[in-house]
Structure 1
């Protein structure tokens, strides 16, 4: 049975809660990601910022992203799932929580991210493999 850890992306982009939104978006664009974990000054993961959040809470309200702090617009709580959760249960969690990404936790630490797209890719690879047998 496939586990979340088998298909997750181990690279997690992090931004500081006191960082301005413009700086955070520059990091996200540089890394090619649409979301980032927000950490406090001690490095504790406290929330999430997404491109969609920036559009809704900053750009559509005609606010200057250089003047708004990430902590002012971040989403909380950070939604996580265990690394050893089955892919099936993760898919159910996506639907029940109506989210596009979940952070993967192992021993209380964020170790990766899993997205709807990543699950779809993994399932497609399985189907292609089965069809070629």
Structure 2
């Protein structure tokens, strides 16, 4: 099983964040610029205070008839933020994401934000592992037939 640390080493450790006082529109612009579906919301001290996602926008702005240029992210962000550590395995991430129905998880190490993974990152990691195991089994079978 791969760890989150290994996933981040492949993917990169860069994390795009947003402050709680920026408008939803500005946060959406940033998400589009970086092609991401969610952003950790980080206060001036660097602490995660929430998570802003496309789902938050759809359910808390659009469906309620609000204007994204008038609302701060802090008004609609999810404040109950699940997180993982670099030692968490990809399978543990998948279980947590499936159970809690979340698509993004911040990675914290000693209280510091050190990464951010999506369900796509986790699926890719598990698929890579499965591919490796299949190749190993094929080689084993071929050696046995020789």
TM-score when normalising by structure 1: 0.90
User: Matched residues in 2 for 1:75 and 1:97: separation?
Assistant: 13
Q: Which stretch shifts more, 113-122 or 65-74? A: 113-122
Superposition deviation, residue 106 in structure 1: 0.8
Q: Secondary structure at the match of 1:37?
A: strand
Correspondence for 2:54? 51
Q: Which stretch shifts more, 33-42 or 68-77? A: 33-42
Unaligned runs of 5+ in 2: 137-146
- In the alignment, which of 28, 33, 38 is matched to residue 31 of structure 2? 28
Q: Secondary structure at the match of 1:105?
A: strand
Superposition deviation, residue 27 in structure 1: 0.7
Correspondence for 1:124? 127
- In the alignment, which of 113, 118, 132 is matched to residue 116 of structure 2? 113
Unaligned runs of 5+ in 1: none
Q: Which stretch shifts more, 80-89 or 27-36? A: 80-89
Partner deviation per Cα, 1:79-105 (whole Å, 9 max, x = no partner) = 111111222222222223221111111
**Is the 2:17–2:40 Cα contact (8 Å) retained in structure 1?**
yes
TM-score when normalising by structure 2: 0.83
Normalized per residue, the structure richer in helix is 2
List aligned pairs for 1:82-121, cutoff 5 A. 82-121=85-124
Normalized per residue, the structure richer in strand is 1
Aligned pair count reads 133
Superposition deviation, residue 129 in structure 1: 2.5
Q: Which stretch shifts more, 63-72 or 114-123? A: 114-123
**Is the 1:13–1:35 Cα contact (8 Å) retained in structure 2?**
no
User: Matched residues in 1 for 2:117 and 2:75: separation?
Assistant: 25
Whichever of the two has the greater Rg, that structure is 2
